[in-house]
Structure 1
Amino acid sequence: MLAKSVDTAPEAPGVVYEPKWDGWRAIAFRRPNGVYLQSRAGRDLSSYFPDITEAVSEAVPAGAVLDGELVVWEGERTNFSQLQRRVTAGAQLPALIGRHPAHYVVFDLLRAPPGRPLLDTTLIERRALLEQLLADAPVSLTLSPQTTDLEQAVEWLHTWTAAGMEGLMIKRLDGRYEPGRRGWQKLRAYRTTEAIIGGVTPTIDNPQTLLLGRVDQHGRLRYTGRTSPLRPPQRTELASLLTPHDPTSEAKHPWPQPLPAAWPDNLSSHNHSPTPRSPQRS
């Protein structure tokens, strides 16, 4: 089940709020012979998270289907890059798991043991069954917090973002689980900061995205990521403000062209954006 974005958190009877975590959405199928972890895109994640499949296998009876978020904690906040490293770790995966074990933050139950379908039951009923199911689960299987108090949800939004919370999920307690439908709502948390426009794609005359940078403690301009696609009025306005870097000037542009694929995103702990290719520097 999916969610549509909203600008404010509605306050209404029968509405519940949950944290939106910075991780990978995954459904866990507890089968008689083990556990299958499936990503939102339908990809098999089981081999990358043996610590989670083992925990689900030991704590959850066969026939259950869970919905939740895979996260990795580093210190007091989640680290998205450690999730990504699971896919490329290869033979180093056991060592990586030892240093950065994963957690599965569960927020819904789609089937109850031994296989009873719950899609047509209400969220409040599914939540009660989920709480019973995870009552004695290990810490790696975490029941996602939930509240009907908007003030508490707003407090989460203001204080938990530093720990890796991306926003709020808003759901109806009487709602059924509808796969593929945007029947939930999500309110994203935003941070603001100043950045330098170091380049654009594809051209300065038609800037569709901006390549942003920030100056580090040594005075070097570091690439930090790209913006979302600009709307046509924004492109027109920016085209009149941007000027290309003069390669003959004494002031050298600090970025290579095109940008190397391995450039990190230093603005946040991870980079959700695609790596820009062949940008025009400004």
Structure 2
Amino acid sequence: MLAKTVETVPEGENLSYEPKWDGWRALAFRHHNGVYLQSRAGRDLGTYFPDVVEAVRRAVAPGTVLDGELVVWEGDRTDFAQLQRRVTAGTRREALVNRHPAHYVVFDLLSAPPGRPLLDEPLAQRRALLAALIADAPAQLTLSPQTTDVGQAREWLRTWTAAGIEGLMIKQLDGRYQPDRRGWRKYRAYHTTEAIVGGVNPTIADPQVLLLGRLDDSGRLRYTGRTHTLRPDQRAELAGLLTPHPTTPEHPWPQPLPASWTGQLERPQPLPYVPVVPTVAAEIDVDTAYEHHRWRHLVRYRRPRLDLAVTDVPPLDGRS
């Protein structure tokens, strides 16, 4: 089941609120001969998460189907990069599993032992059965918090985003589980900050996407992320503010940007761009997915900040 994005936290009767985890969505099918861990795209994740497979195998009986999020904790916050490393670790995966164990935060039960389908049951009933089913599960198998108090949910947004929570999931307590339907709602937590425009796509005359950066301790501009597609009025305003970067001295970023820089997971490709002189600060809205000095998701452009010098923009190691 999927979710559609909302711009405000909805209120009303019969609604429940859960944290939106920064991880990989996965279904866990407990069969008689083991566990099949499936990504949202249908990929088999069991090879990459043997610790979670074993936790599910030990915790629940055959016929169980769970829905949840795979996360890895690094200190007191989730670390999305550690999930990605599971895929590329190769022979180092066992050491990585031991050093950074994954957790499966479960929020729904689609089938109960010995194979009773629950898709048509209301969420409240599925949740009650799920809580009882994994009450004695190992720590790697965790029940996601849920509340019907919107005040409590807003408190999560204030206090839990520092731990990597991206926002809220909003669900109907009487709702059935509808595969591939956007019957849930999601609210993503954003805050406003600034970055420096270092490049554009496709042209300076029509800057549809901005490539952003911040200055490191040595004063070098480091790439930090890119924006959603800009509106026509935003493009027209920026076109008169941006200046092409001269060939010398060289721009601090490679041409094209490496695929690993831009956070592409599916079919990664290098990203050609037009370098600009990094003198324009931009006000942007960003979410909590900030790791290794980059925003993993596309950011929202708000306006140019002509009142700011680039040295007034938060430095590379700052989030605000």
TM bucket, shorter chain:
over 0.9
Identify the match of residue 257 of structure 2 among 251, 256, 259.
Answer: 259
Cα shift readout 1:215-260 (whole Å, capped 9, x = no counterpart): 1122111001111222333222222222211225xx5422232223
Q: Quick one: structure 1 residues 51 and 29, their matched pair in 2 at CA, closer, same or farther if it must change by over 3 Å? A: same
Counterpart in the other structure of 1:278: 272
Cα shift readout 1:135-193 (whole Å, capped 9, x = no counterpart): 00001000000001111100001110010100000001000000111111111011322
Paired residue secondary structure (1:66):
strand
1:41 is the counterpart of 2:44 = no
Quote the Cα distance in structure 1 between the aligned partners of 2:232 and 2:51.
Answer: 47
Paired residue secondary structure (1:156):
helix
Quote the Cα distance in structure 1 between the aligned partners of 2:103 and 2:192.
Answer: 29
Quote the Cα distance in structure 2 between the aligned partners of 1:29 and 1:92.
Answer: 26
Quote the Cα distance in structure 2 between the aligned partners of 1:32 and 1:224.
Answer: 46
Counterpart in the other structure of 1:268: none
Quote the Cα distance in structure 2 between the aligned partners of 1:177 and 1:204.
Answer: 47
Counterpart in the other structure of 1:24: 24
Quote the Cα distance in structure 1 between the aligned partners of 2:216 and 2:202.
Answer: 26
**Please, which moves more after superposition, 227-236 or 18-27?**
227-236
1:157 is the counterpart of 2:160 = no
On the 8 A contact 1:35/1:53 being kept in 2, the answer is yes
Query: What TM-score, normalized to structure 1?
Result: 0.93
Q: CA deviation at 1:205?
A: 1.7
Counterpart in the other structure of 1:123: 123
Within 5 Å, which residues of 2 pair with 1:1-282? 1-248=1-248, 251-263=249-261, 271=263, 277-282=271-276
Quote the Cα distance in structure 2 between the aligned partners of 1:35 and 1:238.
Answer: 53
**Can you give the 5+ residue segments of structure 2 that lack an aligned partner in the other structure?**
277-320
Quote the Cα distance in structure 2 between the aligned partners of 1:179 and 1:5.
Answer: 17
**Can you give the 5+ residue segments of structure 1 that lack an aligned partner in the other structure?**
266-270
| CA-atom RMSD in angstroms | 1.5
Q: Quick one: structure 1 residues 224 and 157, their matched pair in 2 at CA, closer, same or farther if it must change by over 3 Å? A: same
Paired residue secondary structure (1:126):
helix
Quote the Cα distance in structure 2 between the aligned partners of 1:9 and 1:153.
Answer: 9
Paired residue secondary structure (1:104):
strand
Quote the Cα distance in structure 1 between the aligned partners of 2:86 and 2:171.
Answer: 31
Quote the Cα distance in structure 2 between the aligned partners of 1:30 and 1:201.
Answer: 47
Q: CA deviation at 1:109?
A: 0.2
Query: What TM-score, normalized to structure 2?
Result: 0.82
**Please, which moves more after superposition, 135-144 or 184-193?**
184-193
Quote the Cα distance in structure 2 between the aligned partners of 1:256 and 1:140.
Answer: 41
Paired residue secondary structure (1:22):
coil
Paired residue secondary structure (1:145):
coil
On the 8 A contact 1:226/1:276 being kept in 2, the answer is no
The alignment covers a number of residue pairs equal to: 274
Quote the Cα distance in structure 2 between the aligned partners of 1:2 and 1:65.
Answer: 17
Which amino acid is the alignment partner of residue 133 of structure 2? L
Paired residue secondary structure (1:194):
strand
Paired residue secondary structure (1:192):
strand
